[in-house]
A and B are shown apart, each in its own frame.
Chain A
Amino acid sequence: MSDRPAPKEPARQPPIIIVVIAAIAVAVLALPLIGLLQRTPWPSLGSTLGKASTLEALRVSVVVSILAATVSVVLGLPLAWVLARLSFRGRALVRAVVLLPMVLPPVVGGIALFFALGRRGLVGRALQNAFGVDTLIGTTAGAVIAAAFVSMPFFVITAEAGLRQLDPRLESAAATLGAGRWTVLRRITLPLLAPSLAAGATLSWARALGEFGATITFAGNHPGRTRTLPLAIAQANESAEPEAAIVMAVLLIGVSLVVLIGLRHRWITPYAHKPANSPQTSPS
């Protein structure tokens, strides 16, 4: 993948124009971050971070994003398998529908969720009867559904791409050697797929962590239940408390970076560093 060492070439000057454009790209992405850090009120950082409302929003964010990523994996993995391995009429349509939340404005997603799961939505009444759920507004379950709606596509496309790259002959070979369906899945498919699954799960978790529009529209803004860090940041920003907004934004970025960097070294890099043509074996 991207971390694969560059193939050895005779020493040559890199094309200057590409390097310049790459530097501009880095500036576009990094400058806002630097701007934020430069405005961060470091002396009062601790007191704002320690505030009960900040910690509460952090807790809601962590719980909601992890649950949403879990939902994405549990529902998304079988979906990715169907999309990658079965050919059926309308597969392109299914894939388009699955990817739609990625391009849909999240607020539209939130409104659409109302019409599906709301009290007067398509299956809302059935939901009410089955689970005794009167409403999802102001509930953590509602926030998880909203976050899973926008983040699941990230897992599905990553997992599907991973499944497509997998050499099916490895699975056939295992089967001819007498491995049952589940053994093949457990011993061959999933281990080979692990890097894609980890990358997909991380992507969907990160998307869920940053979720704002669908959450506030569908699940509302309730402290301790649906008020995640992004919601708390928006509210602080609109309440003439820009300092609190900045501190929580730095916190959110910190949490994301720690997890993304941590996971990268743990799961993704070891596989990615393998040369492409080396025989792939299940890790043991």
Chain B
Amino acid sequence: MQRQTLGALIGLLAWLLTGCGDGNKTIVAVYAAASLSDAFEDLAAEYEAQYETTDLDVKVKLNFAGSARLAAQISAGARADVFASANETTMSRIVADERTATPPVLFAHNQLALVVPMDNPGNITTLEDLSDDDLILAVCAPEVPCGALAQAVLADASIDIDADTEETSVRAVLTKVMLGEADAGLVYATDVTAGGNQVAAVPLDPQIRFNDYMITTISNRTIATDFVGFVLGLDGQRILQNHGFDTP
């Protein structure tokens, strides 16, 4: 083998191996519901910034998915430090499996929103319009918190829908609407912003229903408790409000 090729290969190998470690960083692994994606990215950035002037090099590793999937991963032994779920039911599974290190705490609320593609091909103006079977309708599966909330809201209004797809995360519903593949989707109020100028929200009647976001530590590490404290603190709550969440 040529000397240069060999050198390049060794360099590549060294780079691959160093990429795997995080050196002396203090890592906090946060598993959060998909609907929290944008808010928690901001939260993590501000949280890391807090430590910039200290000796501690803190890095937040975020893992977003439907709460149900995250709960299943944690139950199966995933090494998370913090878990933020989009409702209490999902959180209670982790509690039942004795995977929580501290009792879960309520930290935010969200409401249901009806989104349509910008040009509104299905001509939807009210929640009642969703009972039209010809519409292509995307919702969350009932096992996912956003699906449970949607079911409750639709039951309150006595509306029967025929969903074309039951997604396992709220952001998957949003994507289908953003792509224009679904005429409408039921998501959280905070997801409307994430849809940018590709989706429009159909105004709904004032709602009495909302979901409770719960947060807990999974590991016994100090950094886990510290991160949860940050979310519940003034800065954390302000960031959540900026992203459209109601805070307790």
Residues of A within 8 A of B (CB): 114, 118-120, 134-135, 137-138, 216, 219-223, 226, 234-235, 237-240, 242
- State A220–B138 Cα separation when bound (angstroms): 9
* A/B pair count, beta carbons within 8 Å: 69
Asked if residues A120 and B165 are in contact (CB atoms below 8 Å), the reply is: no
Name which of B40-48, B66-74, B153-161, B206-214 contacts chain A: B66-74
A159 to chain B, nearest CB (A): 33
A279 to chain B, nearest CB (A): 46
Asked if residues A220 and B168 are in contact (CB atoms below 8 Å), the reply is: no
- State A234–B141 Cα separation when bound (angstroms): 12
Asked if residues A238 and B72 are in contact (CB atoms below 8 Å), the reply is: yes
B32 to chain A, nearest CB (A): 16
B166 at the interface (CB under 8 A from A): yes
Q: In the complex, what residues of A have CB within 8 A of residue B141's CB?
A: 221, 235, 239
The B136-162 residues at the A interface (CB cut-off 8 A) are 136, 138, 141, 143-144
Q: In the complex, what residues of A have CB within 8 A of residue B71's CB?
A: 238, 240
B179 at the interface (CB under 8 A from A): yes
B191 at the interface (CB under 8 A from A): no
Asked if residues A222 and B166 are in contact (CB atoms below 8 Å), the reply is: yes
Asked if residues B136 and A138 are in contact (CB atoms below 8 Å), the reply is: yes
- Interface residues of chain B: helix, strand, loop or mixed (majority): loop
Q: In the complex, what residues of A have CB within 8 A of residue B144's CB?
A: 238
Q: In the complex, what residues of B have CB within 8 A of residue A235's CB?
A: 141, 143, 168
Q: Please, which residue of chain A has its CB at the minimum distance from the CB of B94?
A: A240
- Interface residue total, chain B, C-beta cutoff 8 A: 24
B164 at the interface (CB under 8 A from A): yes
A105 to chain B, nearest CB (A): 15
Residues of B within 8 A of A (CB): 66, 68-69, 71-72, 75, 93, 134, 136, 138, 141, 143-144, 163-168, 176, 179-182
Asked if residues B181 and A114 are in contact (CB atoms below 8 Å), the reply is: yes
Q: In the complex, what residues of B have CB within 8 A of residue A240's CB?
A: 68, 71-72, 75, 93
Q: Please, which residue of chain A has its CB at the minimum distance from the CB of B173?
A: A220
Give 30 A-B contacts (CB < 8 Å), ordered by A residue.
A114-B181, A118-B180, A118-B181, A120-B180, A135-B181, A137-B138, A137-B164, A137-B181, A138-B136, A220-B164, A220-B165, A220-B167, A221-B166, A222-B163, A222-B164, A222-B165, A226-B165, A237-B72, A238-B66, A238-B68, A238-B69, A238-B71, A238-B72, A238-B168, A239-B68, A240-B68, A240-B71, A240-B72, A242-B72, A242-B75
B132 to chain A, nearest CB (A): 13
Asked if residues B143 and A138 are in contact (CB atoms below 8 Å), the reply is: no
Instruction: Say whether, besides A221-B141, A222-B164, A235-B141, A114 and B179 are in contact (CB < 8 Å).
Output: yes
Q: In the complex, what residues of B have CB within 8 A of residue A222's CB?
A: 163-166
Q: In the complex, what residues of B have CB within 8 A of residue A219's CB?
A: 165
Q: In the complex, what residues of B have CB within 8 A of residue A237's CB?
A: 72
- State A242–B68 Cα separation when bound (angstroms): 12
Q: Please, which residue of chain B has its CB at the minimum distance from the CB of A120?
A: B180
Q: Please, which residue of chain A has its CB at the minimum distance from the CB of B166?
A: A221
Q: Which one of B134, B143, B163, B176 lies within 8 Å of A239 (CB-CB)?
A: B143
Instruction: Say whether, besides A118-B179, A120-B179, A237-B72, A221 and B136 are in contact (CB < 8 Å).
Output: no
Asked if residues B168 and A234 are in contact (CB atoms below 8 Å), the reply is: yes
Most buried by B among A221, A223, A237: A221
- State A216–B175 Cα separation when bound (angstroms): 13
Q: Which one of A134, A216, A238 lies within 8 Å of B136 (CB-CB)?
A: A134
